[in-house]
Amino acid sequence: MSFPLGTVVALEGASGAAEATGFEPFLPGLVVLLPLLGFLANGALALAAGRRSADAVRAGGEWHLPETERPLTHTWPSLIGPGVLLAAFAVTLVNFVRMWGAELHEPVVIPYWTWLVTGTLEVAVAIQLDQLSMVMMLVVTGVGSLIHVFSVGYMRDDPGYPRYFTYLNLFVFFMLVLVMGASFPVMFVGWEGVGLCSYLLIGFWFRDREKADAGKKAFIVNRIGDVGFLLAMFLLFTTFGTLDFVPILERAPETLVYGGALVSAVTLFLLLGAAGKSAQIPLYVWLPDAMAGPTPVSALIHAATMVTAGVYMVARSSVLFALAPAGSLAVAGIGALTALFAATIALTQYDIKKVLAYSTVSQLGYMFLGVGVGAYTAGIFHLMTHAFFKALLFLGSGAVIHSMHHALHRTGRHLDAQDMRNMGGLARRMPVTWTTMWVGTLAIAGIWPLAGFFSKDEIIWYAGAAAGGPHASWYALFWMIALAAAALTAFYMTRMMLMTFHGGNRTGEEEARHLHEAPLTMSVPLVLLAAFSVFGGWINVPAALHDGWVGLFGALPMGEGLHHWLEPVVAAASEVRAEHVGAFHETAPLGGGELAWATFSTLLAAAVVAGTAAVASRWRIAPAAEAGEPTGGLRGLLYRKWYVDELYDHIIVRPVVATSRFLWRVVDAGIVDGIVNATGSVSRAFGLVGSVVQTGVLSTYAFVLTVGVVVVLAVMAL
Amino acid sequence: MITDSLVLSALLFVIGTLGVLIRRNAIIMFLCIELMLNAVNLTFVALSRLVGIDGQLFVFFVMTVAAAEAAVGLAIIISIFRHYETVDVQSFNLLKW
Amino acid sequence: MSALLDVIGYERWILHALVWLPLAGMGLVLWLPRERAKHVAFWWSAALFALSLGLWWAFEAAPGFQMASSHPWIPGWGVAYALGVDGISIFMVLLTTFTTPVAILGSFNYIEKREKAFYALMLLLETGVLGVFLSLDLFLFYVFFELTLVPMYFIVGVWGGERRIYAAVKFFLYTALGSLLMLVAILYLYFRAEEALGAGSFHYAELLRVPLTLQEQLWLFSAFALAFAVKVPVFPLHTWLPDAHVEAPTPGSVILASVLLKMGTYGFVRFLLPLFPAAAQHPPVVTLMLALGVVGILYAAWVAAVQPDAKKLVAYTSVAHMGFVVLGIFALTLNGLQGALLVMVSHGISTGALFLLLGMLYERRHTRLIEDFGGLAAVAPWLATAFVITALASIGLPGTSGFVGEFMALLGAFETHPWFAGVATLGVIFAAYYMLPMVQRMFFNRLHESANRGVPDVSRREIAMLAPMIALMIWIGVHPAPLMRRMEPSVESLVSHVERSLPAAPSAPAVGD
């Protein structure tokens, strides 16, 4: 009945648990609670603002934000929204420092209250603090804070400003529940909760039908994945009798048979769930459409945090995946395929956000490849660096779009503000955005010594190194795919930068004068994220490279930092792997050690970037209005995204709708209800036949009655 | 003696029955029903010589019921007449489906 | 709190009060002038809800019936006036007392003719439903079970939409037909009790002791199951429901969805399982019931998705939700049964709220067609917010009441029948498939109809109805443990009773496949 009290009691209980581990959490519940409070406060403001704008609409017009004096509903969220996030980040940092200082080998689980309880099942609302959840918390609150600050600049002129922060805070709350939850069901609450926020934020401008459609699509596709998650939970429960992480992961190696059907089924179901949330083949189709939301949302939800939940989930249940070689192979295969597939689509897109969206799908594929080959740390590492540079790139594109919007708004022209063919030459007008985005581009392309180089190279390396064990030829194939996709990444990102920032401006003369650099609230997060994109990779320089030129001959700090940090979390998985598969190989499939291939891949990326830049000067790009859509050939096929949306539409969506109509019109109204109504009609028909004798004439009745009496008497007498 | 009484009452009863069956005027039909009741009463009284006081006792019940029935029945007929301005039962066929 | 309840002797009179006070309220409504009918009805039922809340504290989490009492009613036939409450019925009772005042409040503007009769019937309905949930005597139960038909028939038939007569007759005949067979089965049980126990009885506790062969059980099970399955409704006996819902006035739909459907599933749990345990565990029977549940979930979801009429759509979603209940019940596991009970509660609240919201929209626009709406979130943001939250609770978003029940029901079913549960889980997708397009087409997109521009947002009275419902949805979703703890002992003893009383015949079926 009393949550606050329960919280206090639980917090005290937490310090009791701390004595055993040497790690004393500092109000960890506050990390989750703060965004929730922000949600409630902003929600109240949003409801008030909604009423006001509704009154204006009802009066026949539209509500516009006053130019001079903003109402409180549109000023307070600027403080509350980012404020709670920064506070949560601060609390997380304190916890991080404490965890850093302590030797924590077991996760700290802090229960708050009992959620589900029957005789056989008990699930508590509990959070789990360990190295993995700490990394995720830092990413979510840290990158989240920056994106919230950016949003203040990006969204403050939108009439729905308080509603925006309501959703954004709610999202962070659910994301934290997802990463901090101590059991699969609690994680699932966050899992579906972030899906909900994604739905609301994609369809934030809900009066635009396409945007609302995109939100709906995201939710439904995600739910397909959620079925997998649910089934995996059911299987785990019937096997272990509990759904908490700690006991399941602890007992899994003894309880489950290595490579057995059960654990394979569990991991494949989990993979289905992860593929839905992390936009992997075959469920990736929602993510590109999700770009309909405001750009900071794309940065936060559809690049940095929510879509990485699948990777987090695989890493969280790493023991299970280690026990299921088939499941792991599937994860790696899906990841590699997605990495390449999405990269090919990104090659030809003209919408700046679409390029980034497919790039995200592709990078998520890398993360899947990483956790699939058993390099859980590498996957999480790439998740983290990707959060930095992809958030940076999205926010940068947001700054560009913001500026384009303003310029087009000034002159009143209707152009697609996101089409790169309408941009060009923005470098001079937006130097900060331009510089920082180049940092992000080089990082994602894998240029040494930026963050993306270290993380992506580690994944590619482990894919190659896994090709020494079972399923060697598959892993060798994945490794080559990953290398190829890396080259494509370097190309499409450079293409995007060149089309947007270089060459001549194609927006229009009048408009070009209004293109301007983003305000401080937007540029400061860009600069900070750019810094992280540079240095972020240094925390985990592999030992084999650290003393080579890659690690500046040992000068880069914190070699293998993340690896050591996450060791307690993935130790069990590593043990299983060591026992059944053996160690990773020292050489890649084509020979050569880690250092050699690292050198190769960064040189490859650099060559592609430089080559693209050299070729691009000869491109002639027409503005979107004159150019039209590319058709025919490979180019058209890629621009049309391999026609996957159309394919799904034909083989899934339409048959489902057609079947629904059939079931309704024919089966339900026709057969089932037809039988019911027929029963009624038949009874009525009998009644009609019988009613012939019912003349309504009293004398007839009396006569029949008399005859009847006489007959009865006669029968009795005889 | 008793045979005569029974024959008389049988005759009265048949006359009443035929009246109900043949006549269309509701009042007449009603009177015929009374006739049937009284025919039965006559039978009761006649038989009470053989079986005892019970028969005569029963006549009182029948008379009471007949009185009540007459009151209700006539009231219905009057209200029907007010409505249709006729007492011909052929025209009262609302109960027909 | 419980000390206070002791002082006023709460446990001695509350159940009788719950059953008969609505009837007294009905008299009051009929006696007082017409203008005051709705207020009297509302405050009367609200006070009754306040009274019933004491059950929360007075009820102990223990197996068996509590506050039970039994007085001879027709001693010659062994009929008793016996009431009692246990962990299975307590939340049905609270759901009823909660929903009735909300539904009455929801009819303030909707009902414009024969108000006295309407509110009197609503209270009569409450008596009937509470009697169903509290009766411990099968004769009494049957009387109340049938009593609920009468007010509902008139509510649909008098205050309903254009095809109200068709819908009312269909509703009445369909459900009455089902329950007549149950009456026969009850009488059979009575005579078997006379043979086996020496004295005929309709008392639930006595009838539980009547030994029945598997053959008998199967027949009686079928008769009872038919009566309840029509009420639930289980596919393919569901077609009366969309008609009744579409034609019923808002409060009628609310009560129908929230409470009346639950009488069917309640009957499954209360009577079918414990009275005929061998039949309920007979593999073909279990397979049939589970299959019907699963088919109901998927079929109703698909049919719902293409309905042009919003009310009909929600009506079909009820069928899908009840599919989860049936699945959970016939899984015969603790998790499944508790999940089923929670789905019942949650469905009562969320679907009731959906019907209220659709009623509000109907009052504003006088249409139920989805395509007539669009973009309403721009003019009625609070209404839209409430609708979205309710819709999400209805499709089982974690953190709302819908999820807890569905999750437990599926989990419980998975323990014994993984294939059925696996297929049923797909219902999660199709729930989004029917609900989100409706939400989008009504509340998002452009404001394409000028009539929608004038739609006012929720009034204070409407907030007073919606706020408690939304609060309950979230509370049950976040902290269902107090409910589950109160249910658990009764469900536990039910499951063990069913499992224990397998006949020793060689053909005795085992639990599960």
Task: Give the residue numbers spanning the domain of C393.
Answer: 283-499
Q: What is the separation of C-alpha A604 from the centre of its chain, rounded to a whole number of angstroms?
A: 30
Q: Is B94 on the interface with A (CB under 8 A)?
A: yes
Instruction: Please give the average per-residue pLDDT across C39-44, as a whole number.
Output: 94
Interface contact A706-B92, CB threshold 8 A: no
Q: Is residue C41 part of a domain?
A: no
Question: What is the C-alpha to C-alpha distance for residues C146 and A584, in angstroms, rounded to an integer?
Answer: 73
In tens, the pLDDT along A395-406 reads 999 999 999 988
Interface contact A680-C239, CB threshold 8 A: no
Peptide bond into C398 cis (omega under 30): no
* Angle (nearest 5°) at CA A300 between A294 and A304: 140
For the purposes of burial, counting CB atoms within 10 Å of the CB of A246, is it exposed (0-12), middle (13-18) or buried (19 or more)?
middle
For residue A594, the model assigns a pLDDT of 83
Q: Report phi then psi at A519, rounded to 5.
A: -70, 170
* Angle (nearest 5°) at CA A395 between A389 and A400: 125
Question: What is the C-alpha to C-alpha distance for residues B21 and A637, in angstroms, rounded to an integer?
Answer: 94
Instruction: Please give the average per-residue pLDDT across A493-502, as a whole number.
Output: 91
In tens, the pLDDT along A63-89 reads 888 877 888 888 899 999 999 999 999
In tens, the pLDDT along A210-269 reads 999 999 999 999 999 999 999 999 999 999 999 999 999 999 999 899 989 999 999 999
Question: What is the C-alpha to C-alpha distance for residues C135 and C84, in angstroms, rounded to an integer?
Answer: 7
Question: What is the C-alpha to C-alpha distance for residues A464 and B34, in angstroms, rounded to an integer?
Answer: 114
Burial A155-180 (b: 16+ CB within 10 A, else e): bbbbbbbbbbbbbbbbbbbbbbbbbb
Q: Distance (Å) from the C-alpha of residue C33 to the closest C-alpha of chain A?
A: 38
- Among A386-395, A431-440, A590-599, A657-666, whose mean pLDDT is lowest? A590-599
Question: What is the C-alpha to C-alpha distance for residues A585 and A598, in angstroms, rounded to an integer?
Answer: 15
Mean pLDDT estimate for chain A: 88
The structure tokens listed for A14 are: 């937490």
Nearest by Cα to C328 from C420, C236, C224, C390: C420
For the purposes of burial, counting CB atoms within 10 Å of the CB of A578, is it exposed (0-12), middle (13-18) or buried (19 or more)?
exposed
For residue A16, the model assigns a pLDDT of 43
In tens, the pLDDT along C454-494 reads 889 999 999 999 999 999 999 999 999 999 999 999 999 99
**B17, B80, B86: best to mutate for the A interface, most A CBs within 10 A:** B17
Interface contact B94-A687, CB threshold 8 A: no
Angle between helices C481-500 and C334-365 (to 10 degrees): 130
Residues A350 and A284 sit within 8 Å (Cβ to Cβ): no
Domain ranges within chain A, ordered by starting residue: 1-182, 183-639, 646-717
CATH hierarchy code of domain B2-89: 1.10.287.3510
For residue A467, the model assigns a pLDDT of 80
Name residue A668's amino acid. D
Question: What is the C-alpha to C-alpha distance for residues B75 and A520, in angstroms, rounded to an integer?
Answer: 98
pLDDT at A3 over 50: no
For residue A20, the model assigns a pLDDT of 52
pLDDT at C506 over 50: no
Give the rounded percent of residues in chain A with a pLDDT score beyond 70: 97
Q: Distance (Å) from the C-alpha of residue A692 to the closest C-alpha of chain B?
A: 9
Q: What is the separation of C-alpha A219 from the centre of its chain, rounded to a whole number of angstroms?
A: 11
How many C-beta atoms surround the C-beta of residue A208 within 10 A?
15
pLDDT at C125 over 70: yes
Tell me the pLDDT band of B95, cut-offs 50, 70 and 90.
low
Mean pLDDT estimate for chain C: 90
Strand pairing category for C66-74 and C79-85? antiparallel
Nearest by Cα to C272 from C325, C342, C335, C343: C325
Burial C213-247 (b: 16+ CB within 10 A, else e): ebebbbbbbbbbbbbbbbbbbbbbbbbbbbbbbbb
- Contact list in C for residue A117 (CB cut-off 8 A) is 481, 484-485, 488
Residues C96 and C133 sit within 8 Å (Cβ to Cβ): yes
Question: What is the C-alpha to C-alpha distance for residues C437 and C317, in angstroms, rounded to an integer?
Answer: 14
Tell me the pLDDT band of A21, cut-offs 50, 70 and 90.
low
Residues 6 or more apart from A263 whose CB is under 8 A from it? Answer: A252, A256, A257, A320, A323, A324, A327
- Classified as helix, coil or strand, A4 is helix
Q: Is A687 on the interface with B (CB under 8 A)?
A: yes
Question: What is the C-alpha to C-alpha distance for residues C280 and C285, in angstroms, rounded to an integer?
Answer: 7
Tell me the pLDDT band of A41, cut-offs 50, 70 and 90.
very high
**A697, A703, A705, A713: best to mutate for the B interface, most B CBs within 10 A:** A697
- Contact list in C for residue A112 (CB cut-off 8 A) is none
Q: Distance (Å) from the C-alpha of residue A684 to the closest C-alpha of chain C?
A: 13
For residue C483, the model assigns a pLDDT of 92
Question: What is the C-alpha to C-alpha distance for residues A102 and C421, in angstroms, rounded to an integer?
Answer: 45
- Contact list in A for residue C436 (CB cut-off 8 A) is 199, 216, 219-220
- Contact list in A for residue B96 (CB cut-off 8 A) is 691, 694-696
Predicted interface score ipTM higher than 0.90 = yes
Are chains C and B in contact at 3+ CB pairs closer than 8 Å? no
Name residue A68's amino acid. T
Interface contact C481-A233, CB threshold 8 A: no
Tell me the pLDDT band of C507, cut-offs 50, 70 and 90.
very low
For residue A10, the model assigns a pLDDT of 41
In tens, the pLDDT along A125-145 reads 999 999 999 999 999 999 999
Residues C281 and C244 sit within 8 Å (Cβ to Cβ): no
The shortest CB-CB distance from A706 to any of B17, B89, B90 is to B17
Per-residue CA distances from B66 to B38, B40, C508 (Å): 9, 12, 67
Angle between helices C240-247 and C164-197 (to 10 degrees): 130
The structure tokens listed for C278 are: 């061998």
Tell me the pLDDT band of C427, cut-offs 50, 70 and 90.
very high
Q: Is A699 on the interface with B (CB under 8 A)?
A: yes
Residues A506 and A621 sit within 8 Å (Cβ to Cβ): yes
For residue A144, the model assigns a pLDDT of 94
Burial C397-429 (b: 16+ CB within 10 A, else e): bbbbbbbbbbbbbbbbbbbbbbebbbbbbbbbb
Hey, which chains touch B, using 3+ CB pairs under 8 Å? A
Q: How many CB pairs under 8 A join A and C?
A: 172
Q: Distance (Å) from the C-alpha of residue A694 to the closest C-alpha of chain B?
A: 6
pLDDT at C510 over 50: no
The shortest CB-CB distance from C425 to any of A230, A661, A680 is to A230
Question: What is the C-alpha to C-alpha distance for residues A443 and B5, in angstroms, rounded to an integer?
Answer: 127
In tens, the pLDDT along A607-633 reads 999 999 888 878 778 777 777 777 778
Q: Is B86 on the interface with A (CB under 8 A)?
A: no
Q: Distance (Å) from the C-alpha of residue B50 to the closest C-alpha of chain A?
A: 22
The shortest CB-CB distance from C445 to any of A57, A209, A680 is to A209
For residue A143, the model assigns a pLDDT of 94
Interface contact B21-A706, CB threshold 8 A: yes
The shortest CB-CB distance from A118 to any of C334, C381, C422 is to C334
Number of domains, chain C: 1
Q: Is A681 on the interface with B (CB under 8 A)?
A: no
Question: What is the C-alpha to C-alpha distance for residues A462 and A477, in angstroms, rounded to an integer?
Answer: 13
The shortest CB-CB distance from A694 to any of B20, B90, B96 is to B96
pLDDT at B49 over 90: no
Interface contact C411-A664, CB threshold 8 A: no
Segment (H or E) for B62: helix B54-84
CA atoms within 13 A on the CB side of C182: 26
Nearest by Cα to C315 from C370, C262, C246, C368: C246
Q: Distance (Å) from the C-alpha of residue A513 to the closest C-alpha of chain C?
A: 34
The shortest CB-CB distance from C488 to any of A118, A212, A235 is to A118
Interface contact C433-A120, CB threshold 8 A: no
Nearest by Cα to A564 from A24, A129, A131: A131
Question: What is the C-alpha to C-alpha distance for residues C494 and C501, in angstroms, rounded to an integer?
Answer: 11
Question: What is the C-alpha to C-alpha distance for residues A279 and A288, in angstroms, rounded to an integer?
Answer: 9
Hey, which chains touch A, using 3+ CB pairs under 8 Å? B, C
Question: What is the C-alpha to C-alpha distance for residues A420 and A626, in angstroms, rounded to an integer?
Answer: 13
- Among A532-541, A690-699, C306-315, whose mean pLDDT is lowest? A690-699
Question: What is the C-alpha to C-alpha distance for residues A275 and A335, in angstroms, rounded to an integer?
Answer: 9
Tell me the pLDDT band of C499, cut-offs 50, 70 and 90.
confident
The structure tokens listed for A656 are: 């489902």
- Contact list in C for residue A120 (CB cut-off 8 A) is 333-335
- According to DSSP, residue C333 is labeled S
**C53, C394, C428: best to mutate for the A interface, most A CBs within 10 A:** C428
- Contact list in A for residue C444 (CB cut-off 8 A) is 203, 206-207, 209, 212
For residue C509, the model assigns a pLDDT of 44
For residue A592, the model assigns a pLDDT of 79
**A121, A174, A648: best to mutate for the C interface, most C CBs within 10 A:** A121
For residue A11, the model assigns a pLDDT of 41
Q: How many CB pairs under 8 A join A and B?
A: 31
The shortest CB-CB distance from B93 to any of A691, A697, A702 is to A697
For residue A416, the model assigns a pLDDT of 85
Burial C33-67 (b: 16+ CB within 10 A, else e): eeeebbebbbebbbebbebbebbeebbeeebebbb
For residue C447, the model assigns a pLDDT of 85
Q: What is the separation of C-alpha C250 from the centre of its chain, rounded to a whole number of angstroms?
A: 16
pLDDT at A524 over 70: yes
